[in-house]
């Protein structure tokens, strides 16, 4: 059996009816392109979430009021005002804490902010200078909150880039301008660099003020809403998490970890949860795209069945001249596989282009999985075999005399 001759004959047969061949290939193109584009969209979304979480700080532990999971320390439900500034200071100074590098107490609350005739509902965060180090905040202009600002209850503020645009407009330098929060006038001393993000906790739509100013002058609170803790290294995060948990249990006079009135989340916990969500999202999208591949395969099988019917006399003549079943099956399978592989290659190119366009439009990282491309093209070839086998077998089983009599 001359495989090269079979291959060339298959190409000649497919080019005889270009419209039919094009329609058969189109289903595979759409299916493969959809799979690659949607997997890329899911992976790009996952990468975007990872980047945003990583931008919050390295080796980060977050302590919040209320009981949840705290590594070796597990807690039940607790109040919302159980953390204090003294708790944060104790974490930094305690002799039992060996794996903590820096601590940042924070008080956070949303509030209406005005600047002239403009206003915005924005997240106000009272911070210490260490916040910039732990949370990886860099400044585009001006200075950040200083220790002197905290000690003196200074009425100063550092704006996130989105907050600066909302309050002062695009292209306007807000340094030295005044904003009003809860009746208090604050002077803008800095603007942070954009981190990217959206939604209720947009990292660019925040205003940083001294912690003492937020607690005593803006909101009249004595507690802190969050304590950010930076571990000394990635490997030390679990030890730091347990050290902080047991110290706070002792300070809050709680003997049973199950009654803890605080929770400690590591950056890895948040990242793993986000990856699970985006992983399910990617799988769902891939499943939807796979349906179009199945439909494309069924379309190819229908085309091949029609081809068998049209070429019945040709098949009968070839069998009468001595062509074996194996030759007939191989030729029809070759045609089917050629259709799917051509469609797969075109669909691969289309999927990559779609992925790039979508990533640019949605401001997501452009991510292409090589394994997804290999899998998609391999699946297209498999579809050619799977859905081409029945028509090929039907053609090979035709009796020569009956096939020659076929009208």
Span 246-262, average pLDDT:
86
**Who wins on pLDDT, 165 or 290?**
165
- From residue 59, give the alpha-carbon distance in Å to each of 101, 211, 278, 306, 377: 10, 23, 22, 63, 40
**Who wins on pLDDT, 15 or 61?**
61
pLDDT digits (tens, 9 = 90+) for 46-86: 777 766 666 665 588 889 887 654 444 444 433 467 899 99
What is the maximum span of the chain, computed from C-alpha positions, in angstroms? Answer: 104
> What backbone torsions phi and psi does residue 112 show, to the nearest 5 degrees?
-80, 130
Round the average pLDDT of the chain to a whole number and report it.
80
- From residue 203, give the alpha-carbon distance in Å to each of 167, 195, 317: 16, 6, 74
Span 231-256, average pLDDT:
87
The yes-or-no verdict on residue 190 having pLDDT over 80 is yes
- From residue 303, give the alpha-carbon distance in Å to each of 308, 326, 333: 9, 21, 13
The yes-or-no verdict on residue 183 having pLDDT over 70 is yes
Q: Tokens 């595979």 appear where?
A: 28
User: What is the pLDDT confidence band of residue 405, given thresholds at 50, 70 and 90?
Assistant: low
- The structure tokens listed for 149 are 């600002």
pLDDT digits (tens, 9 = 90+) for 141-176: 999 999 999 999 999 999 999 999 999 998 889 999
């Amino acid at each position: 059996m001359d495989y090269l001759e079979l291959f060339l004959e298959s190409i000649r047969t497919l080019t005889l009816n270009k419209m039919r061949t094009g329609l058969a290939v189109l289903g595979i193109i759409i299916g493969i392109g959809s799979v690659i584009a949607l997997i890329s969209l899911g992976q790009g979304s996952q990468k975007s979430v990872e980047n945003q979480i990583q931008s919050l700080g390295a080796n980060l532990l977050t302590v919040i009021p209320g009981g949840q999971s705290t590594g070796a320390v597990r807690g039940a439900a607790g109040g919302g005002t159980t953390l204090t500034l003294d708790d944060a200071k104790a974490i930094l100074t305690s002799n039992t804490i060996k794996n903590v590098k820096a601590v940042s107490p924070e008080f956070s609350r949303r509030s209406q902010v005005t600047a002239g005739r403009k206003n915005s509902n924005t997240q106000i965060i009272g911070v210490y200078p260490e916040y910039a180090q732990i949370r990886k905040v860099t400044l585009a202009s001006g200075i950040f909150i200083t220790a002197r600002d905290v000690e003196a209850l200074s009425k100063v503020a550092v704006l996130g880039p989105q907050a600066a645009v909302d309050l002062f407009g695009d292209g306007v330098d807000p340094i030295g301008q005044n904003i009003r929060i809860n009746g208090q006038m604050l002077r803008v001393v800095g603007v942070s660099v954009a981190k990217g993000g959206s939604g209720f906790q947009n990292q660019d739509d925040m205003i940083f003020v001294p912690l003492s100013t937020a607690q005593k002058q803006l909101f009249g609170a004595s507690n802190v809403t969050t304590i950010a803790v930076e571990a000394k290294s990635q490997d030390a995060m679990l030890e730091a998490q347990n050290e902080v948990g047991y110290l706070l249990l002792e300070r809050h006079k709680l003997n049973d970890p199950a009654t803890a009135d605080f929770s400690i989340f590591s950056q890895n916990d948040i990242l793993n949860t986000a990856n699970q969500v985006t992983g399910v999202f990617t799988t769902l999208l891939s499943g939807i795209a796979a349906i179009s591949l199945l439909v494309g395969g069924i379309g190819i099988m229908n085309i091949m069945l029609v081809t068998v019917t049209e070429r019945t006399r040709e098949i009968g003549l070839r069998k009468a001249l001595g062509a074996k079943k194996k030759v007939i099956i191989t030729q029809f399978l070759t045609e089917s596989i050629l259709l799917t592989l051509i469609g797969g290659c075109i669909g691969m190119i289309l999927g990559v282009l779609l992925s790039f366009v979508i990533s640019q439009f949605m401001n997501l990282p452009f991510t292409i999985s090589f394994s997804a491309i290999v899998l998609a093209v391999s699946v297209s070839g498999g579809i050619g075999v799977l859905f081409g086998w029945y028509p090929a077998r039907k053609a090979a089983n035709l009796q020569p005399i009956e096939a020659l009599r076929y009208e």
